[in-house]
Amino acid sequence: MNDEQIIEVITRMFREVFDDESMVITGSTSQEDIEEWDSLSHLRIILLLEKEFGIKFDIDRVGSLTSVGSIVQEVRNLVRR
């Protein structure tokens, strides 16, 4: 799975969590760009990704995943394991 495909999945997650079907996500999208992206919605996104990819995030790293690019990288690393 390449980065574009991962972003497609993440976009689906964001649209579900933020209830916005028109939401456009890129690798450079960060928490500063989305006002509703708070700690609780962040955890929901992480849980959805865990379910989708069958992976487990390291809770010590979850807080630092503040951009879509960093989430993509983390997902890619976890899927490879």
Partner 1 sequence: MKVHHVGYIVDNLANAMIEFEKLGYKRVGEPVYDQVRDIYVVFVNNDGVMVELVMPKSRNSVIYKLAGKYRNMPYHICYETDCLEDDIEQLTKRGYMLIRKPEAASAISNNRVAFLMHLDVGIIELVEKKVINYERECCSEKGQL
- Catalog residues that contact partner 1 under the rule CB under 8 A: 38-40, 43-44, 46-48, 50-51, 56-57, 59, 62
- Closest separation between CB of residue 48 and partner 1, Å? 7
Residue 41 to residue 37: CA distance in whole angstroms: 6
* Nearer Cβ to partner 1 (11/52): 52
Separation between Cα atoms, residue 55 and residue 21, nearest integer Å: 25
Give 4 or 32: the residue with its C-beta nearer to partner 1.
32
Q: How far apart are CA 24 and CA 40, in angstroms?
A: 20
Query: Residues with Cβ < 8 Å from 20, sequence gap 6 or more?
Result: 14
Residue closer to partner 1 (CB basis): 39 or 77:
39
Q: How far is the CB of 30 from partner 1 (least distance, A)?
A: 16
